[in-house]
Structure 1
Amino acid sequence: MPLITLLTDFGTQDEYVGVMKGVIAGINPDVRIVDISHSIAPQDVVHGAYVLAAACPFFPAGTVHVAVVDPGVGGARRILAIECGGQRFVAPDNGLVERVLIRQSVTAAVSVENSLYFLKPVSRTFHGRDIFAPVSAHLAAGLPLAELGPAVDRDSIVSGVVPRCRFSTPVCVEGVVVAADRFGNLMTNIDATTIDRLAQRATGKKLIVDVADKPIGGIVASYDRVPRHTPLAVIGSRGLLEISVNSGDARKALSAGKHDTVRVRLT
């Protein structure tokens, strides 16, 4: 049975998500639809990119992922259909698939331009309904990517939108908070592999984590390694450094949030 996932910043207050599902069902009634999230912060492409990349490895080959965090809707930005890692992605060309493409080689990519597979008329503000939903339904039914439009060169796909961590000195990795989850945990762009590289230089030294210039301490294995209501740093399920508070909300307790600087340093 074909499978489509949806990731948007639409929320659930309005009809947007339900209408997309209705369009998909009208074209391909046999498809299963799985909601990854509709709580991406409005217009937050970076947040969407991290959530999409964290989720897609856990879906079977052949899944069609529809990602609509699209502040440029109705403008000059392209809509892409991409095949990589045995899955297909339909998303605006604005960096939303950047994290996915870092991990997977692209088998095929096209610019979605064939209006035969769009709803008519196409709204200027709701391409999720009029383009993304019907295109994904046709793909899940077996439509080849090449039918949707001209091929796109991998190097032309928008990148550089998602911030990356870096070694600011030989003994310090610097990154940023990219999002907070509903528990108030602060997700960073510092990955476990980079921390391991830093740790290899740690002979006689210890790792210390700072967020917004506030020292948190070292990296612990689990939340309960510190007392309740105490800040901590941990490698989360996405393989990224997270700043948390045991049984609390790090965003509130530390007065920290998106774009704040995070450092992992040797001392």
Structure 2
Amino acid sequence: MPGTPWISLTTDYGLTDGFVAACHGVIARLAPAARVIDVTHLVPPADVRHGAAVLAQTVAYLPVGVHVAVVDPGVGTARRGVALAAPDGLLIGPDNGLLPDAADALGGVTAAVELTNPAWLAPRVSGTFHGRDVFAPVAARLALGASLHEAGPAIDPAGLVRLPEPIVAADPAGFTAEVLTVDHFGNVQLAAAAELLDGLAPTVRVSAPAAAPLPAPEPVEQSASGRVAVRGRTFGDARPGGLVVHPDSAGRVAVAVNGGRAVDRLGVRPGDLVRISG
């Protein structure tokens, strides 16, 4: 792939330390003309599934370039550092399940290498900061147009670590799906494809394992079989304070509260199961 002057960064590094700046600095020293897009640095610490979901839902909207992702609780262990080529971009990060869904969003893995060439890495590689010492310098060199295969030996894409498929189970009355992510607004994204909403009634029930009690003044129906929600297109399809189940911008089913936070209402977290029934 020819030089791609765009680099994106997705990490769980946070914004209170110098970790993100160090990665920017390494890239700027090696490829000063490269432009860097910060996707997010607020992935929950060590939450590989959340990072993988954010990355996969974002990369298709970024310029063709080099995408670095670091959510790496196994840093410094035997887990591999890898670079993946796809038709619409390159991905760099740990081989822990973080990258394959994003590679699929970019057209699928066409080549993969393990990052072992010492000439491409920092002179001294820290045991705990591969974002700075491994992934950032590799990204800069690839952005300058260096060959992927100079970074290290080819590996079989079929051997890349993949995260377990999230639970989605449909039945004639509705479906049960795993909570995939919770966004900044408290909207609960399920692993279910939005098409599973087709054919459900305009009013549905949302059942969660540990739904939080509603404030006393709130006139929203709830029962042992779940809470009533509008099946809508956007937040405003529910009355203020009401639940709405809708297709989100990533093509997944989401549960939201018009003017509130569905995650607090339902009392769920990623990995929990939520049932939507007609």
The TM-score normalised by the length of structure 2 is 0.87
Residues 165 and 98 (structure 1), Cα distance of their counterparts in 2 relative to 1, 3 Å cut: farther
2:10 counterpart of 1:7: yes
Q: Which residue of 2 aligns with 1:251?
A: 263
2:234 counterpart of 1:222: yes
Work out whether residues 216 and 233 of structure 1, in 8 Å CA contact, stay in contact via their aligned partners in 2.
Answer: no
CA offset digits 1:155-185 (Å, max 9, x no partner): 1011133524233x35442211122111111
Work out whether residues 83 and 148 of structure 2, in 8 Å CA contact, stay in contact via their aligned partners in 1.
Answer: yes
What displacement does 1:154 show?
1.7
Q: Which residue of 1 aligns with 2:128?
A: 125
Work out whether residues 180 and 257 of structure 1, in 8 Å CA contact, stay in contact via their aligned partners in 2.
Answer: yes
Q: Given the alignment, which residue of 164, 178, 182 partners 1:176? A: 178
Q: Which residue of 1 aligns with 2:79?
A: 77
Separation of aligned partners in 1, 2:86 and 2:179: 28
Residues 164 and 53 (structure 1), Cα distance of their counterparts in 2 relative to 1, 3 Å cut: farther
1:1-267 alignment to 2 at 5 Å?
2-61=5-64, 63-103=65-105, 104-167=107-170, 169-196=171-198, 199=199, 208-213=204-209, 214-265=226-277, 267=278
What displacement does 1:254 show?
2.3
Separation of aligned partners in 1, 2:11 and 2:179: 20
Separation of aligned partners in 2, 1:110 and 1:138: 14
Work out whether residues 98 and 162 of structure 1, in 8 Å CA contact, stay in contact via their aligned partners in 2.
Answer: no
Identity, % of aligned positions: 37
Q: How many residues align?
A: 258
Residues 33 and 59 (structure 1), Cα distance of their counterparts in 2 relative to 1, 3 Å cut: same
* Structure 2: tracts of 5 or more residues without a match: 210-225
CA offset digits 1:84-128 (Å, max 9, x no partner): 132000011111123224442222111111111111210000000
Separation of aligned partners in 2, 1:115 and 1:216: 58
Q: Secondary structure at the match of 1:106?
A: coil
Separation of aligned partners in 1, 2:196 and 2:54: 20
Separation of aligned partners in 1, 2:26 and 2:53: 27
What displacement does 1:242 show?
1.1
One-letter code aligned to 2:229:
G
Residues 215 and 117 (structure 1), Cα distance of their counterparts in 2 relative to 1, 3 Å cut: same
Work out whether residues 203 and 228 of structure 2, in 8 Å CA contact, stay in contact via their aligned partners in 1.
Answer: no
Separation of aligned partners in 2, 1:191 and 1:33: 31
Report the RMSD for the aligned CA atoms in angstroms: 1.8
What displacement does 1:209 show?
4.7
What displacement does 1:259 show?
1.9
Q: Secondary structure at the match of 2:110?
A: strand
Separation of aligned partners in 1, 2:207 and 2:31: 47
The TM-score normalised by the length of structure 1 is 0.90
Query: Which range moves more in the overlay, 105-114 or 208-217?
Result: 208-217
Separation of aligned partners in 2, 1:134 and 1:219: 47
Work out whether residues 211 and 256 of structure 1, in 8 Å CA contact, stay in contact via their aligned partners in 2.
Answer: no
Residues 207 and 159 (structure 1), Cα distance of their counterparts in 2 relative to 1, 3 Å cut: farther
What displacement does 1:25 show?
0.3
Separation of aligned partners in 1, 2:172 and 2:117: 50
Query: Which range moves more in the overlay, 34-43 or 94-103?
Result: 94-103
